Amino acid sequence: MASAVGSGLSRAEAFSLLRSLLRTAAKFSDYNIREYVRRRTIDGFRENRGLTDPSAIASAFSEGRSQLEIAKRQAVVYSIYAPQVKNIMELNAS
Amino acid sequence: MAGRHVAARLARSCRFRLAALRPLSSASAAVAAESALPLAETTAGEDRDGGVTMKGVRISGRPLYLDMQATTPVDPRVLDAMMPFFLSRYGNPHSRTHLYGWESDQAVEVARAQVAALINANPKEVFFTSGATESNNVSVKGLMHFYRNKKRHVVTTQTEHKCVLDSCRHLQQEGFDITYLPVQKDGLIDLQRLADSIRPDTGLVSVMAVNNEIGVVQPMEDIGRICKKKGVFFHTDAAQALGKIPIDVDRMNISLMSLSGHKIYGPKGVGALYLRRRPRVRVEPQMNGGGQERGIRSGTVPTPLVVGMGAACELAKKEMEYDGNRIEALQDRLLNGIREKLDGVVINGSMEHRYAGNLNISFAYVEGESLLMGLKEVAVSSGSACTSASLEPSYVLRALGVEEDMAHTSIRFGIGRFTTEAEIDRAVELTVKQVEKLRDMSPLYEMVKEGIDIRSIQWTQH
């Protein structure tokens, strides 16, 4: 779920997108998917931090927004069908 | 800060209370398990205290998944692409008379292009099937049946997937000649030997790209070059390679290729067959009927699955580098973690020519079945899922010349897109604990530590 941080489009907008993606990531009931969405979001923003070309920034932004839409929908789907038994990684972590 | 302190203290006091309660609660759970009907044991029962009981094994949570060669979880982005075609866009892609058919057909063609882009092929060269097994069957049997008058010989390797080997055996019964090339100790084939085994009546060379059990990557370009020079069709089973290593059908001179959806975070039940157009490769179809997929594979194309496979391929293309780097780092972490604490650990197959997401390790002086049973919190396998039910050691490992006792103790760790560092650390911890426990019980390991060579022991026969 790659996205971008650029100086062309406002920094605030980028951070708002990042925050929304991370907030949605936390909603996934599945341990592996939740960790992946969070990790991929952060790495995606890190990868695109140095973007300067306005069109590249714009496309990274729209990519990030569409990923956010997917994540929002799928977080709901995953929560509907979440197994009652948790992943072993979540049990001993607490 | 203050809040965190309070929380920590609360958690600590809770733990004490829980510890005091535990003997009681587990005793009552045991009583409940005993009084339960035997039927409940064979089905998945979710226990009162949050655990799960299945096939008589009780686990406190869902095991961490390290069996990515058997299958992979569906990526949420793939599922998102598929769902509309399970709901309102249910048209048959072969319906030519209404919108439902047109939109499904369009989606199938987009998916075809997505698959083709990942392997640098023309979309017209991609045919959807039910999976890599079907593609392998069509490739091996279908091709030889089509050219049966002139071509009577197939070259393959001993470490191929069962479905290729079984198709070859089927051909053998029909009177075809098959050469099963042996592999070297590292799992790679000897190119000179391959070139020497090709005869004028050889119709097909079938060598898999990435081995499903040991993860060894064969030198595809070199094999392709030999086949081109000798004018023989080159088929490769790339189910384990797609989306993991770069595949280019032109550079590798591949004539036919089998692909699978569920190994690349796509749905199960869908795969693809690549058939080269120039020079044209022809096969006799296995399914006859409505002539879908240009007569190569009749039967309605399953739109949702095909869309999922296309989405998975597009994702794989985008994420191959990111996933690859991560998986490599995780493999190092796993291997170093195990090697730091255990001796007598042997990697099966070449380390240089290997896909990092597949680590097949043997633990000396440990009984494999006990090890797998002890590792019930880690979902791993001893090898191929198709043969994991039998107690026989893997034929792939035997082909490598791995000794019987070491072949029995192999574990395949499969790392994928969704594997976390914490999971690897836990897997290392549990594996080390289990191996040490089993070795402590093993008289063989004691003897080895005393300096006795096990192979020199004369076992008395009964």
Q: Can you tell me the ipTM of this complex?
A: 0.91
Does B374 lie in the same domain as B267?
A: no
Contact (Cβ atoms closer than 8 angstroms) between residue B207 and residue B218: yes
- Residue B1: inside a domain, yes or no? no
Write out the E strands in B14-133: 45-46, 52-54, 57-59, 64-65, 126-129
Within 8 A by CB and 6+ apart from B124, the residues are: B277
CB contact under 8 A, B419 and A43: no
Contact (Cβ atoms closer than 8 angstroms) between residue B384 and residue B394: yes
CATH classification at residue B133: 3.40.640.10
Q: Does B53 touch chain A (CB under 8 A)?
A: no
Return the half-sphere exposure (C-beta side, CA atoms, 13 A cut-off) of residue A4: 21
Among A74, A83, A90, select the one facing B80 at the smallest CB separation.
Answer: A74
Does B138 lie in the same domain as B210?
A: yes
**pLDDT grade for B403, boundaries at 50, 70 and 90:** confident
Of B281, B315, B349, the one marking the end of a domain is B315
For residue B413, pLDDT beyond 70: yes
Q: pLDDT for B100-151, tens place per residue?
A: 999 999 999 999 999 999 999 999 999 999 999 999 999 999 999 999 999 9
Of B266, B298, B315, the one marking the end of a domain is B315
Task: Tell me which of B446 and B48 has the higher pLDDT.
Answer: B446
- Residue B461: inside a domain, yes or no? no
Q: Give the span between the Cα atoms of B388 and B386, in whole angstroms.
A: 6
Within 8 A by CB and 6+ apart from B16, the residues are: none
> What is the predicted pLDDT for the residue at B373?
86
Q: Does B329 touch chain A (CB under 8 A)?
A: no
Number of domains in chain B: 2
Strand B345-347 versus strand B358-363 pairing type: antiparallel
For residue B386, pLDDT beyond 80: no
For residue B33, pLDDT beyond 50: no
Task: Tell me which of B309 and A49 has the higher pLDDT.
Answer: B309
CB contact under 8 A, A86 and B62: yes
- Residue B410: inside a domain, yes or no? yes
CB contact under 8 A, A78 and B423: no
Does B262 lie in the same domain as B127?
A: yes
Cα–Cα nearest to B171, from B144, B206, B150: B144
Q: Does B418 touch chain A (CB under 8 A)?
A: yes
- Residue B35: inside a domain, yes or no? no
Of B289, B315, B341, the one marking the end of a domain is B315
CATH classification at residue B341: 3.90.1150.10
Does B395 lie in the same domain as B299?
A: no
Does B143 lie in the same domain as B102?
A: yes
Among B62, B322, B417, select the one facing A87 at the smallest CB separation.
Answer: B62
> What is the predicted pLDDT for the residue at B120?
97
**pLDDT grade for A93, boundaries at 50, 70 and 90:** low
Contact (Cβ atoms closer than 8 angstroms) between residue B140 and residue B236: no
CB contact under 8 A, A88 and B50: no
Q: Which residues of B touch A90 (CB under 8 A)?
A: 61
- Domain containing B369 equals 320-456
Among A70, A78, A88, select the one facing B64 at the smallest CB separation.
Answer: A88
Query: What average pLDDT score do residues B73-95 get?
Result: 97
**AA identity, residue A21:** L
For residue B412, pLDDT beyond 80: yes
Of B101-115, B231-245, B264-278, B369-383, the least confident: B369-383
Query: How many C-beta atoms lie closer than 10 Å to residue A1's C-beta?
Result: 24
End-to-end, the C-alpha distance of chain B in Å comes to 71
Query: What average pLDDT score do residues B68-91 get?
Result: 97
Within 8 A by CB and 6+ apart from B9, the residues are: none
Q: Give the span between the Cα atoms of A66 and A63, in whole angstroms.
A: 5
Does B302 lie in the same domain as B361?
A: no
